[in-house]
Structure 1
Amino acid sequence: MLIHGACHCQAVRFTALIDPAQVSVCHCTDCQVLSGAPMRAIVKAAIADFSLQGVVRAYTKTAQSGQRREQVFCPDCGTPLYGCGVQNPDFVVIRLGCVEERAQLPPQRQIWTASTMPWLSDCVAQSGPA
């Protein structure tokens, strides 16, 4: 499936070919802190299937797995866009929050569930439009 994404200010845009069966929700504490949310929805794309337009910045972090990862974002509005290996990455891990087709990409698995917020399963009430 071809997806299209952009940062909030539209200074950075991308397209990627992804497998919708690979959409995940990550509950690790790094994803919680870096997304400002109790979890982060993600999907992998091969570097060869990923096209980026615009200038980005990156922050290097050491993941809970011990691997060093680049956290790539828009330098103007700060939108998290994707993560990848530090040197010669084979793939990017796209943040679904900036993907136009995100409503069509339900997660197929959850990872790092030991860090899931204990109240998440109780969060069912909707307050209507904001």
Structure 2
Amino acid sequence: MRIDGQCHCGYVRYEAEIDPASVSICHCTDCQMLTGTAYRVSVAARRQDFRLLSNAPKQYAKTGDSGRVSLQFFCPECGSPIYRCSDRSDDPEIAIRLGTIRQRQDLRPRRQIWCRSALPWVEEIGQLPRRPGD
């Protein structure tokens, strides 16, 4: 599936080819802290199928508990997280942040990872009162 997206302010724009079946939710504590919320939703793309259309994002390197380095890419203007990848050049995948994808309404998570770190109330959000706007 062909997608395109951008950060909140539009400074960083991209396009990519993705497999919609690769959308996942990550509950790890790094994702919680890097998003400022309960979990992160991403979709995998091959590095060769991802192309920046405007302006380079800023990079932050995070070493995980495993010792592996994860490169986080975000807009230097508005701070929107855009994608992440390994620091290994032989790793063929990047993970694009779902919230930056224009076609996000068409992408449904297919799996969850790092569930042992999930906040205990996450499974209950469907039961909360809902309003169409605020």
Q: TM-score range by the shorter chain?
A: over 0.9
Total equivalences in the alignment: 130
> Distance between the aligned counterparts of 2:22 and 2:109, measured in 1?
8
Which residue is 1:74 aligned to? 75
One-letter amino acid of the structure 2 residue matched with residue 65 of structure 1: S
Asked if 1:129 corresponds to 2:133, the answer is yes
**Unaligned 5+ runs, structure 2:** none
**Once the two structures are aligned, what percentage of the paired residues are identical?**
45
Which amino acid in 2 is paired with 1:102? R
One of 107, 110, 113 as aligned partner of 2:109: 107
RMSD between aligned alpha carbons?
Answer: 1.2
Partner Cα distance (1:73, 1:21) in 2: 24
Q: Flag structure 1 segments of 5+ consecutive residues without an equivalent.
A: none
Query: Any idea what SS the aligned residue of 1:30 has?
Result: helix
Aligned counterpart for 2:98 among listed residues 83, 87, 96: 96
TM-score by length of 1: 0.94
Relative to 1, partners in 2 of residues 1:5 and 1:76: Cα closer, same or farther, differing over 3 Å?
A: same
Q: What does 1:1-130 align with in structure 2 at a 5 Å threshold?
A: 1-53=1-53, 54-88=55-89, 89-123=91-125, 124-125=127-128, 126-130=130-134
Superposition TM-score, scaled by structure 2 size? 0.92
Dislocated runs of 4+, deviation >6 Å = none
